Amino acid sequence: MVYSYYPGCTLKTKAKDLDRYAKECAKALGFELEEIENWQCCGGVYPLGTDEIASKLSSVRALNEAKVKGQDLVTVCSACHHVIKRTNDDMKNVEDIRTRANNYMELEEPYAGETTVLHYLEVLRDRVGFDVLKEKVVKPLGRKIGAYYGCLLLRPSKIVQFDNPENPTIIEDFIKAIGGEPVIYPYRNECCGGYVSLKEKEMAGKMVDRIMDSAAGMGAEELITACPLCMYNLNKSESANKLPVYYFTELLAEALGLKEEV
């Protein structure tokens, strides 16, 4: 199975591990990620202004590219996934945005939300299957791992339709599949502070400390995330309970024997 792949900027700079292991693991699991040519930055934040159209166009280009190839579009970064998934929903359901974006793009055939957008974790869950993944694991991790979802993967739940936003299970199921022991802690779906960390360092610091304290208190030894921004913020934590944070693809690679050691 070949998927169109949208890596996003951070995966080419700060979060190279997220990208590299995603692609390597895909091969090991029997699917391929074909990077879209000339993809552009998703903008990093879904634009809430209803009259804002320019910042949605890069997502529409990527979506249309996948449509032309007849492939589903896979993302790894939570923020890119969030922006592209929501833009796709706009193209499907919001007539005004669809019309204006198509007028601007002048595509051969107008784009109307036909592409299916999948997060890498959804590919593992729904296409590969966690049971199949489990069979391919050569080095079960055996560690206590806390899933850190953050907000962008889960919300708004009606549009992203990723998992139950208040009690998600997909990353826990992933952790089980790679032989780890998931640790449930209540702040796993709470915001890390996002871009607030640029302006209000103290507030963002409190938010990540609370996440760390909660995860460590419930017995987690490490955290995994799909989001480079969450990773950045969590690593800034000054909590005495600070845990190491990894991208989920790193641990996937480790479990599949594609990586020596974390």
Partner 1 sequence: MQRVGVFVCHCGSNIAATVDVKKVVEMVSLEPGVVHAEDYQYMCSEAGQARIDAAIKEKGLTGIVVCSCSPRMHEATFRKAAERAGLNPYMVEIANIREHCSWIHKDMEEATKKAVVLARAAIAKVNLNAPLQPGESLVTKRALVIGGGIAGIQTAIDIADAGYEVDIVEKTPSIGGRMSQLDKTFPTLDCSACILTPKMVEAAAHEKITIYTYSEVDKVTGFVGDFTVDIRKKARSIDMNKCTGCGVCQEKCPSKKTPSEFNRGLNTRSAIYTPFAQAIPNVPVIDRDACIKFKTGKCGICEKVCQAGAIDYEQKDEIVTQKYGAIVVATGFDVIKVDQYEEYAYSQSKDVITSLELERIMNAAGPTKGHLERLSDGKHPKEMVFIQCVGSRCSDDKGKSYCSKICCMYTAKHAMLIRDKYPDVNVTVFYIDVRTPGKNFDEFYRRAVEDYGVNYIKGQVGKVAPQPDGSLLVQGVDLIDNKQILKKADMVVLAAAIEPEKDVRRIATMLTASIDTNNFLTESHAKLRPVESPTAGVFLSGVCQGPKDIPETVAQAGAAAVKAIGLLAKDKLLTNPCTAKADELMCNGCSTCANVCPYGAITYETKEINDHGIRETRRVASVNNALCQGCGACTVACPSGAMDLQGFSNRQILAEVDAICR
- Can residue 214 be called a binding residue for partner 1 (CB under 8 A)? yes
The mark string for 2-31 relative to partner 1 (x by CB under 8 A, - otherwise) is ------------------------------
Rank residues 219 and 257 by Cβ distance to partner 1 and give the closer one. Answer: 219
Phi, psi dihedral angles at 135 (to 5 degrees): -65, -30
How many whole angstroms separate alpha carbon 232 and alpha carbon 218? 22
Contacts of partner 1 in 73-132 (CB under 8 A): none
- Can residue 217 be called a binding residue for partner 1 (CB under 8 A)? yes
Residue 167: CB minimum distance to partner 1, A: 4
How many whole angstroms separate alpha carbon 71 and alpha carbon 255? 28
Residue 218: CB minimum distance to partner 1, A: 6
Phi, psi dihedral angles at 181 (to 5 degrees): -110, 110
C-alpha torsion angle, residues 186, 179, 233, 45 (rounded to 10): -90
The mark string for 157-196 relative to partner 1 (x by CB under 8 A, - otherwise) is -------xxxx----------------x-xx--x------
The continuous run of DSSP H or E covering 201 comes out as: helix 201-217
Residue 71 in tokens:
């492939």
Give the footprint of partner 1 on this chain (CB under 8 A): 164-167, 184, 186-187, 190, 214, 217-219
